[in-house]
Structure 1
Amino acid sequence: MATIKRPPVYRVPGIQLVVLLVVSAGLGVVDVTIAWSVLAGGVVAIIPHLYFTVYAFRHMGARVSPDIARSFARGEAGKFILTMVGFACVFKSGFALNPLAVFGGYFAMLIIQWWAVAVAVRGQ
């Protein structure tokens, strides 16, 4: 009986976090406001992705395919809600943030996510 290994997508949020912290620390030397803005935008991307990863990949096997489909749908809905709430919290926080840097950090983490997932799945 062959078994399918879990995809190594659990490592992706860790990779994103390390890259985000290094980039934010480097930007902190240049401009603290931009560094905090990039960090905030990156966290808004990482937390929902981590939620989706944990929620969507908790079931394995053909016998539980209805549970897998349900988990993916709930994980995606939760990811969308967490993203909206994250941006609302960032922009309502009252901190002086650069909106372009917030969205830049968010989109940079999305690109890293797509790349890291592609590499992880291809390497499996």
Structure 2
Amino acid sequence: MTAGNERRVPRAAHKIARPPILKIYGLQCALVLLSSFILFPVDKVMAYSAVIGGMISVVPNAYFARQVFRYTGAAFAREVARSFYRGESGKFVTTVMLFAATFALVQPLQVFVLFLAYLIVMLLNAVILARYALRGNRI
């Protein structure tokens, strides 16, 4: 085997279990939509501000998770590092662009509700991932 083949086909690579990304971010989207349906009778602007804030949190985090878990194993260490950098920079740029587009295009908007939904979904993400890690990779 050549050096290039060894890199593509690792002999004994230890795999880190990939978290169920679709399940995690699907749950977050469902909770954001549920909160919006609850808020809709109270105030329509509040309801869509909550959806936008929640989605500004979910979409970049889902992109980051997708990038990070593209490669696994010691044989792909360089690709793993690149995917972390690509994921983090993409997450940052996407978050900034979504906030900028929201403030430029959505009127009226309840800014407090937007940021509150964003922060709650960020905390929800941390709680779900901590629960996933503590339960032995089961949600």
Would you say same fold, with TM above 0.5? yes
Secondary structure, counterpart of 1:95 in structure 2: coil
Runs of at least 4 residues off by over 2 Å: 1-5, 7-11
Aligned equivalent of 1:29: 41
Matched, 1:121 2:133: yes
More helix by share: 1
**Which AA in structure 2 matches 1:101?**
V
Q: Deviations over 1:49-108 (max 9, x none)?
A: 111011111101111011111101110010000000000011101420100011011001
1:46 to 50, 58, 64: 58
The count of aligned residue pairs is: 124
Change beyond 3 A, Cα 1:115–1:96: same
User: Aligned partners of 2:125 and 2:131: how far apart in 1?
Assistant: 10
> Following superposition of structure 1 onto structure 2, how do residues 36-115 of structure 1 map, counting pairs within 5 Å?
36-115=48-127
2:18 pairs with 1:6: yes
TM-score under structure 1 length normalisation = 0.93
Aligned to 2:41, the other structure's residue is in SS state: helix
Q: How far apart, in 2, do the equivalents of 1:3 and 1:85 lie?
A: 34
Greater radius of gyration (CA): 2
Which of 1 and 2 has higher RCO (CA within 8 Å, sep 6+)?
A: 1
C-alpha separation in 2, matches of 1:37 and 1:116: 23
Specify the SS of the correspondent of 1:73: helix
SS at 1:29 equivalent: coil
Cα drift, residue 11 of structure 1:
2.2
Contact 2:21 2:62 in 1 (8 A): no
Structure 2 residue ranges without an equivalent (≥5): 1-11
1:48–1:82 CA contact under 8 A, matched in 2: yes
Aligned residue identity for 1:118: A
**Normalising by structure 2, what TM-score?**
0.84
In structure 2, the CA distance between the partners of 1:34 and 1:98, relative to structure 1 (3 Å rule), is same
